[in-house]
Chains A and B, each alone.
Chain A
Amino acid sequence: MRERLLCIIRKEFRQALREPRMRSMLFIPPLVQLFVFGFAVNLDVDHATLAWMDGDRSYQSRELLAAFQGSGRFEVVAEPANDREVQQLLDASRADLVVRVLPGFERDLARGRSTSVQVLINGTNSNTASIVSSYASSIITDFASQVMQERNRELLSARQVAAPVSFHVPQLKLQSRVWFNPDLLSRNYFVPGIVVNIIMLITLMLTAMAIVREKEIGTMEQLMVTPIRPIELMLGKTLPFALVGLVDTVLVIIAALLLFHVPFRGSVLLLFFCAVLFLMTSLGAGIFISTISQTQQQAMMTTFLFFQPCFLLSGFAFPVRNMPDSVQYLTYLDPVRYFMEIVRGVFLKGSGVSVLWPQMLALAIFGVVILTLSSLRFRKRLD
Chain B
Amino acid sequence: MSVRRLMAVTKKELLHIVRDVRSLALALALPLVMLLLFGYALTLDVDRIPTYVYDQDHTPESRELIDQFRGSRYFQLREAINNYKTAERGIDKSAILLSIVVPRYYSRHLLSGDEADVQLLVDGSDSNTASIALGYADAVIESYSAQLRSNAQVRRGGQPMRVPVDPRIRVWYNSDLKSKNFIVPGLIAVTMMIIASMLSSLTIAREWENGTMEQLLSTPVRPGELVLGKLLAYFALGLADMAISIIVGVFIFQVPFRGNAGFLLFTSCLFLFGALSWGIFLSATARTQLMAFQMGMLSSFLPGYLLSGFIYSIHNMPRIIQIVSYIVPARYFVTILNGVFLKGVGYRILWLEVLMLAIYAGLVFWGASRKMRLKVA
Contact = CB atoms under 8 A, between A and B. Distances in A.
Interface string B133-155: 01111110110111011001000
B92 A355 contact: yes
- Which among A148, A171, A172, A319 has the highest number of chain B CB atoms within 10 Å? A172
Nearest to B342: A124
A29 B306 contact: no
A182 B136 CA distance: 18
B121 interface: yes
Contact of A308 (B33, B113, B288): B33
Interface string B274-313: 0000000000000011110111011000110011010111
Nearest to B17: A297
Given A39-B317, A174-B138, A317-B311, A116 B166 contact: yes
A124 B182 contact: yes
Contacts of A124: 173-174, 182, 338, 342-343
B327 interface: no
Given A169-B152, A170-B149, A172-B116, A147 B165 contact: yes
A37 B306 contact: yes
Interface string A82-100: 0000001011110010000
Nearest to B122: A178
Binding site secondary structure of chain B: helix
Given A126-B44, A151-B164, A351-B92, A121 B170 contact: yes
A136 B20 contact: no
B168 A116 contact: yes
Contact of A169 (B113, B122, B177): B113
A45 B298 CA distance: 26
A179 B41 contact: no
A255 interface: no
B73 interface: no
Contacts of B139: 134, 137-138
A375 interface: no
A153 interface: no
A257 B164 CA distance: 49
Interface residues of B, number: 120
B181 A126 contact: yes
B70 interface: no
- Which among A37, A167, A174 has the highest number of chain B CB atoms within 10 Å? A174
Interface size class of A (residues with CB under 8 A): 35 or more
Contact of A118 (B41, B170, B198, B297): B170
Interface in B175-214: 175, 177-179, 181-182, 194, 198-199, 202, 206, 209-210
A319 B171 contact: no
B3 to A, nearest CB: 28
Interface string A278-302: 0000000000000001011110111
Contacts of B130: 178, 181, 184
Interface in A114-170: 114-131, 133-138, 140-141, 143-145, 147-148, 151, 167-170
A309 B26 CA distance: 13
Contacts of B30: 301, 304-305, 308
A114 B120 contact: no
B57 interface: no
Given A138-B138, A349-B92, A170 B167 contact: no
B218 interface: no
B26 A302 contact: yes
Contacts of B194: 304
B109 to A, nearest CB: 9
Given A119-B167, A147-B165, A184-B127, A126 B45 contact: yes
Contact of B148 (A36, A88, A170): A170
A271 interface: no
A344 interface: yes
Contact of B127 (A116, A168, A185): A185
A327 B149 contact: no
Contacts of B122: 176-179
B253 to A, nearest CB: 13
A64 B20 CA distance: 64
Contacts of A136: 167, 169
A40 interface: yes
A296 B198 CA distance: 10
Nearest to B48: A321
Contacts of B170: 118-121
Interface in B319-355: 321, 335, 338-339, 342-343, 345, 349
Given A188-B125, A297-B206, A297-B289, A309 B120 contact: no
A309 B34 CA distance: 8
Contacts of B56: none
B92 to A, nearest CB: 6
B162 interface: yes
Contacts of B72: none
A172 B313 contact: no
Sort A-B residue pairs by CB-CB distance and give the 5 closest, nearest first.
A168-B113, A134-B135, A123-B174, A181-B124, A178-B124
27 contacts: A25-B290, A36-B306, A43-B128, A44-B316, A91-B345, A109-B164, A109-B165, A113-B162, A114-B166, A116-B167, A126-B178, A170-B111, A170-B113, A170-B148, A171-B114, A172-B144, A175-B117, A176-B121, A217-B209, A217-B210, A296-B293, A297-B202, A297-B206, A301-B22, A301-B27, A312-B42, A349-B125
Given A174-B141, A179-B91, 19 more contacts: A45-B316, A124-B182, A130-B135, A134-B135, A137-B167, A140-B167, A170-B110, A170-B113, A172-B65, A177-B119, A179-B121, A179-B124, A217-B209, A301-B198, A304-B194, A305-B29, A312-B38, A322-B42, A323-B41
